[in-house]
């Protein structure tokens, strides 16, 4: 048996539709299929606007720059981020000239230590970048209570929890904007790709502009007439309204997204079914493992949190010998990484440090079946049942 971290979820049907598109289309750069995918994703999400980009990381970067322009942030203003996350939740904050303020994790949903979050807010806090980690929705209600009536923007990184819900509402609908990733191993794939979702029209327009150099022509046609009138002396096709990037995606990737999206709810259902069985297995060993669950989860991976650090390496070795790949929990505590060491304060990130040392995960997707989970249960009984 081989149980990899990621598996190919692009079906033969998807490939046939891609081949048909390649043969029939005259345009591969961003065009009508991208717009069609954005509209379909907005409908699935229950939001007003979606902006398709080339990665979830680019989505995070665009959101930071767009929020900064929308609200007039200044260099050195603060954005609160988790210590436990992927680097590109944090690096956009730094690249845009703002100060990341790190908050420890918790063992209930892997997101912020919410008490510490409240303590880290200052008069320079401009945004909180809330990450829904590894398929577990974060406590948005608590975060909003902490924000209260202060002028603090809430952004959601939803790259690992696509389709997760809180009281029936999909995560990614609670802040100014949210990011999603369609990378190879995520809930659905466009191979590379990401999405920004928002209900704020001005924020939407800024992200559309910044996705493609700041070009006015990128805006939907309904917004163009007054802009043409104001800037009549400049060729509209080459009118730049703001600074920007080239984070466009292609028609080819959008076609794949349109193939995958109708299957997404089924993919999530299968992932959650595997996670439920995984949870049942882990709960046989309460002296060894810490488990997490959430009624609105959208399982991303199967995480192991070992109480005894000394057991982590030998257990990983055992499952590796039996064909099961594993990896660290995201990046562990990011403040242990060389480029962020200067932000580390001993004793301030105890839970993130604990997870850095004691946790890892194995893959989950629609191909994780009872046969694989039976093997895992046997190996866990062999190791933890000693």
Structure tokens at 189: 């794939």
**Nearest CA to 180 among 170, 201, 195?**
195
- Residue 347 region by backbone torsions, left for phi larger than 0, else alpha for psi between -120 and 50, else beta: left
**Nearest CA to 118 among 81, 90, 143?**
143
Backbone phi, then psi, for 83, in 5-degree steps?
A: -75, -30
Backbone phi, then psi, for 324, in 5-degree steps?
A: -105, 115
**Residues whose CB is less than 8 angstroms from the CB of residue 221 and which lie 6 or more positions away in sequence, other chains included:** none
186 is catalytic: yes
Q: How far apart are CA 156 and CA 178, in angstroms?
A: 4
**Do 153 and 176 contact (CB within 8 A), yes or no?**
yes
**Do 25 and 31 contact (CB within 8 A), yes or no?**
no
Q: How far is CA 314 from CA 41, 283, 371, in A?
A: 43, 20, 23
Radius of gyration of the chain (CA): 22
CB atoms closer than 10 angstroms to residue 252? 17
**Do 380 and 24 contact (CB within 8 A), yes or no?**
no
Cα 209 vs. chain centroid, distance in angstroms?
A: 22
First to last CA, the chain: 24
Q: How far is CA 87 from CA 57, 232, 239, 253, 339, in A?
A: 9, 43, 34, 24, 10
Q: How far apart are CA 78 and CA 379, in angstroms?
A: 46
Q: Which of 132, 186, 213, 356 is catalytic?
A: 186
Task: Please say whether the dihedral angle defined by the alpha carbons of residues 41, 47, 48 and 54, taken in this order, is positive or negative.
Answer: negative
Structure tokens at 351: 């839970």
Active site residues: 186
């Amino acid at each position: 048996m081989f149980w990899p971290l990621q598996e190919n979820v692009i079906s033969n049907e998807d490939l046939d539709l891609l081949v048909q598109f390649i043969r029939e289309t005259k345009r591969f750069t961003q065009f009508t299929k991208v717009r069609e995918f954005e509209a379909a994703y907005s409908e699935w999400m229950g939001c007003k606007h979606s902006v398709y980009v080339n990665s979830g990381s680019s989505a995070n970067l665009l959101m930071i720059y767009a929020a900064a322009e929308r609200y007039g942030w200044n260099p050195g203003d603060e954005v609160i981020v988790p210590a436990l996350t992927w680097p590109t939740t944090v690096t956009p904050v730094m690249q845009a000239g703002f100060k990341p303020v790190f908050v420890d994790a918790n063992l209930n949903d892997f997101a912020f230590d919410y008490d510490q979050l409240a303590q880290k807010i200052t008069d320079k806090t401009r945004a909180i970048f809330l990450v829904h980690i590894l398929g577990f929705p974060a406590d948005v209600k608590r975060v909003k209570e902490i924000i209260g009536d202060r002028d603090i923007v809430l952004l959601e990184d939803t790259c690992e929890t696509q389709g997760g819900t809180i009281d029936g509402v999909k995560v990614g609908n609670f802040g100014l904007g949210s990011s999603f990733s369609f990378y190879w191993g995520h809930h659905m794939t466009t191979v590379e790709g990401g999405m920004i979702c928002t209900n704020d029209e001005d924020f939407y327009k800024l992200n559309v502009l910044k996705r493609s150099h700041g070009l006015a022509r990128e805006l939907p046609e309904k917004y163009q007439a007054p802009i043409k009138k104001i800037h009549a002396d400049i060729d509209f096709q080459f009118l730049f309204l703001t600074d920007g990037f080239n984070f466009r995606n292609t028609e080819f990737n959008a076609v794949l997204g349109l193939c995958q999206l109708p299957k997404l709810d089924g993919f999530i259902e299968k992932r959650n079914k595997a996670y439920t069985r995984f949870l049942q297995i882990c709960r046989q060993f309460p002296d060894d493992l810490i488990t997490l669950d959430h009624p609105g989860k959208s399982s991303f991976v199967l995480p192991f949190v070992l109480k005894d650090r000394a057991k982590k390496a030998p257990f990983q070795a055992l499952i590796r010998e039996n064909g099961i790949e594993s990896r660290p929990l995201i990046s562990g505590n990011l403040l242990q990484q060389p480029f962020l060491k200067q932000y580390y304060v001993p004793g301030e990130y105890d839970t993130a440090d604990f997870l850095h040392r004691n946790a890892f995960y194995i893959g989950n997707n629609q191909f994780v079946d009872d046969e694989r989970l039976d093997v895992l249960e046997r190996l866990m009984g062999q190791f933890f049942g000693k």
